[in-house]
Structure 1
Amino acid sequence: MESPTTGASEDWVTGSAGSSSTSSPDRRGRLMVVSGPSGVGKTSVVNGLASRHAFRFSVSTTTRAPRPGETDGIEYHFVDRVEFERRIAADELLEWAEYGTNLYGTPRSWVEERLRNGDDIVLDIENRGAAQIRSSFPDAVLVFVAPPSLEALEQRLRDRGDTSEEDVQRRLSVAAEQIEEAATLYDHIVVNDNLSDAIGAVVDILAAPLDDSSEETP
């Protein structure tokens, strides 16, 4: 649920002059969820999307402590658990989940206001959050970025060089569950075998009519 683009905050994420912009007061914006297992290259896909399509990236709220170099409102909105639980009770979060000992969620008012303004919004969240978004926003476009195989994902995790054997196995176990869930939860599954192709597939999905049928994209 981390912001994929340093300094993205809650402003427009745009790329080259040739990138498409769909903001218009005459249309309601589109909400897209991009999910995927750790190590699949999801952040790279979202960063690449920024060079091809103008959108707003929602910054998540979390109870975890800021890491060195992180700024409130850029990587996350940092709050304590009491405040987070107050926001849950007040229905101020579109979705939320607990990972380890920390809570993460998406601010409701910011997303709803910008959708009304015609802005396209991208959420980088996990399967549990995506299921909540599906319930609240039936027209949301849910995209799951998948590895070509679990073996390929394992190699990517090992190539990082900073992941212990125990953590590799844990992430692979979680990934297998996420991939199985994706078949019935997500509208589109984009296989990230080639980064440029995966970015192009997500751009095409975001530009397609809302009633396009679900599909797997190589």
Structure 2
Amino acid sequence: MNSFSGFSASPRYLLALTGPSGVGKTTISQRLAAKLADYIQKPLIITTRAPKKHDGDEYRYVTTEEFLKLQKSGGLAAETRLPPEAERRWYGYRAEDLDGIWRQGKIPVVITEMHLLRGFVARYGRDAILSCGLLPPGHGKRAMLSVLMNRLQLRDRDSEESIRSRIENAARDLIFFTEHAGLFDYLLVNDDADAIVSVLKGYVIRTIT
């Protein structure tokens, strides 16, 4: 018998995967969504940045004016600006996209960083969020950042300037995990994406059954 039988996402849960660039959030969320396609779904990320070759179907691209209009009207469930310097590109999630997933009886899976996670908590409440922090392997902050830099360079999507900015953000993210431990239900070291997906699948099952 399917352990999900009769599930309805009420109260409205979110699964939030939080971590620095290069930690594997997108890969893990895609694999998890594929394994539990009938029960979880990834909403599109709204962004003002230009499309990139490897984006796939992760994003909905809007102008800064359109983004700020959504923000002003309360249409965004959470938003942030990344990186903190240079272009200050906006990212966020539309509330109506999350509502649409809940109406299907599914759980939205969102990729977050510290500002987005705080935004979701402010809007929906801490108890509505199954919050998982993803950390790179390594003993100590310097080793973790070295792993992230290597991953970002290997995936060959970003300029050196962008990678430096992402590593600076990652350093702040790692501190955030320590200083705001109450925002996380689980902290997981991603040294094996398939193993992490299996662990997360178990968390989701326990949450909804």
Fold match by TM threshold 0.5: yes
1:15 matched residue in structure 2: none
Deviations 1:55-106 (A, max 9, x none): 11100222223346878xx432222222221111110000111223322221
Quick one: distance in 2 between partners of 1:110 and 1:56? 10
How high is the TM-score relative to the length of structure 2?
0.76
Q: Does residue 1:148 correspond to 2:137, yes or no?
A: yes
In 2, Cα distance between equivalents of 1:180 and 1:187: 17
Q: Is the 8 A contact 1:29 1:117 kept in 2?
A: no
Q: 1:60 aligns with which of 45, 52, 69?
A: 45
In 2, Cα distance between equivalents of 1:141 and 1:23: 20
Residue 41 (structure 1) aligns with: 24
The within-5 A match list for 1:186-201 is 186-201=184-199
- 2:102 maps to 1:119: no
* Residue of structure 2 in register with 1:213 after alignment: none
Q: CA deviation at 1:123?
A: 0.9
Deviation at 1:110, TM superposition (A): 2.2
1:26–1:145 distance in 2 versus 1, CA, 3 Å: closer
Between the two proteins, what is the percent identity of the paired residues? 25
CA distance in 2, matches of 1:70, 1:26: 29
The alpha-carbon distance between structure 1 residues 122 and 88, as it changes in their structure 2 partners (threshold 3 A), is same
Q: Which runs of 5+ in 1 are unaligned?
A: 1-18, 211-218
- 1:79 maps onto 2:62 in alignment: yes
Matches within 5 A, 1:2-13: none
> Over aligned residues, Cα RMSD in angstroms?
3.0
Query: AA paired with 1:201?
Result: V
Looking at structure 1, the residues matched to 50 and 158 of structure 2 have their Cα atoms a distance apart, in angstroms, of: 21
Q: Are the counterparts in 1 of residues 81 and 91 from structure 2 also a CA contact under 8 Å?
A: yes
Question: What corresponds to 1:10 in structure 2?
Answer: none
Output one character per residue of 1:10-50: Cα deviation in whole Å (capped at 9) or x when no partner: xxxxxxxxx98677458445311112111112222112212
Amino acid at match of 2:41: R
1:137-170 CA deviation, whole Å, 9 max, x = no partner? 2211111111012133333334445666655444
AA aligned to 2:177 is: A
- CA distance change for structure 1 residues 190 and 166 in 2, over 3 Å: closer, same or farther? same
Indicate conservation of the 8 Å contact 2:130/2:185, yes or no. Answer: yes
Residue 172 of structure 2 corresponds to 177
Answer 1 or 2: higher relative contact order, Cα 8 Å, separation at least 6: 2
Mean Cα deviation higher: 62-71 or 136-145: 62-71
> Take 1:114 and 1:61, find their aligned partners in 2: how far apart are those partners?
16
CA distance in 2 between counterparts of 1:69 and 1:158 reads 14
Query: Between Structure 1 and Structure 2, which shows a larger proportion of helix residues?
Result: 2
Q: Residues of 1 paired with 2:62 and 2:149: CA distance?
A: 34
